[in-house]
Amino acid sequence: MKTVALHMIRKFHLEFFQKHLPDDLAIYFHELEDWNMPRFEEAIAHLVREGYRTASPRAFAAGGRGKRLFISFDDNYQSWHRALPVLERHGVTCTFYVNSGVFRDMASPSAIHDYRDRIAYRGSDRTLSRAELREISAAGHTIGCHTHTHPMLSRLDRRHWDAEILHSKTYLEGLIGKQVRDFSFPYGMRRHFSPALRDYCEAVGFKTIASGISGLQHAPSRDPLSLHRTEWKLALPLEENLAHMRIHAPFYGNMMGRSVIGSGQWLAVPMVW
Ligand SMILES: [Zn+2]
């Protein structure tokens, strides 16, 4: 009975608490395999047709006029390199938050195997080579840091932060010959991060920190470093994803204590940063 009631409240909320699509839209993806590449292109083409123009993380966080779109990717997938012609076709630039310890021409098969377990990836995509990452950077896209090996940072002892975060940043900078100033933390939800980690990231030189908490597109951040991203789920139809971007989730989150999109996403500390 309780489950049915929750389901009805969620359904009601998804249908009646829809706002317009926000002018500032921050979406993110993971792998782009053969089955979902056409859906990715459909999504990008739609948003460009709607008048959105892509922005880098720092430009997006700084604010601005018009319809602005922040497109990003997390983890480390070779398919990002295969997507370069699609991105060029639609005139969009993206941000790739990379795990720096798993390039396929550098990491051992067992390290890559363990990594795929950590990110719960069961598909056929490989990880990037370092040359492919350099080509993505040279094509005008932003390279950000997503830690070295994708640990759950909230469970990591502080003495390992340098190895996972600062070392990853420095390593990527050496690889692409540019500064890396943008960070997204593994697992994306607020409970996997902390104010102490946020201050550490700022101290080592990151200018933006991206989360992956659904339903906050209508909730401006109180922290100038913070970027609220909503995952665009390529397994779902375009219209359903657009509904996720329009939702006024803070209302639902404050009422129910969880995100309206996906029951696992907990908003235990709403809108702190
Ligand atoms: Zn990740």
* CB-based contact 134:141 (threshold 8 Å): no
**pLDDT value, residue 267:** 37
CB 28 within 8 A of CB 71: yes
- The region of weakest confidence among 32-36, 78-82, 220-224 is 220-224
pLDDT in tens, 104-126: 999 999 999 999 999 999 999 99
Q: Mean pLDDT over residues 216-240, rounded?
A: 86
Residue 266 pLDDT > 50, yes or no?
no
Ligand 1 geometric centre to CA of 210 (Å): 11
CA of 16 to the centre of ligand 1 (A): 32
What integer best gives the mean pLDDT of the chain?
88
The domain in which residue 177 lies consists of 19-256
Per DSSP, the three-state class of 39 is helix
Q: Which of 87, 93, 91 is nearest to 71 (CA)?
A: 93
Q: Classify 253 as helix, strand or coil.
A: helix
CATH number, residue 68:
3.20.20.370
**Average pLDDT in the 124-142 region?**
98
Cα 258 from Cα 210, distance rounded (Å) = 19
**Ligand 1 mean position to 187 CA, how many Å?**
5
**Domain membership flag for residue 3:** no
Q: Over pLDDT 70: what percentage of the chain?
A: 83
Query: For 16-62, what is each residue's pLDDT tens digit?
Result: 666 788 899 999 999 999 999 999 999 999 999 999 999 999 999 99
Q: How far is the CA of 146 from the centre of ligand 1 (A)?
A: 7
Given pLDDT bands bounded at 50, 70 and 90, which one contains residue 221? confident
Specify the residue for token string 């370092």. 130
Crossing angle, helix 2-16 and helix 249-256, to 10 degrees? 160
pLDDT of residue 252: 57
Q: Is residue 107 part of a domain?
A: yes
Any domain includes 247: yes
How far is ligand 1, taken at its centre, from the CA of residue 30, in Å? 8
- Exposed/middle/buried for 270, CB within 10 Å: 0-12, 13-18, 19+? middle
Distance 77 CA to ligand 1 centre (A): 11
Of all residues in the chain, what percent carry a pLDDT higher than 90? 70
Instruction: Give the SS3 label for residue 258.
Output: strand
Instruction: Tell me what pLDDT residue 272 has.
Output: 35
Burial class (CB in 10 A: 0-12, 13-18, 19+), 206: buried
Residue 4 lies in a domain: no
Whole-structure pTM value: 0.88
Measured distance CA(170)–CA(240) in Å, rounded: 39
Work out how many domains the chain is built from and give that number. 1
Which amino acid does the sequence have at 137? S
Is 49 part of any domain? yes
Whether the Cβ atoms of residue 68 and residue 21 lie closer than 8 Å to each other: no
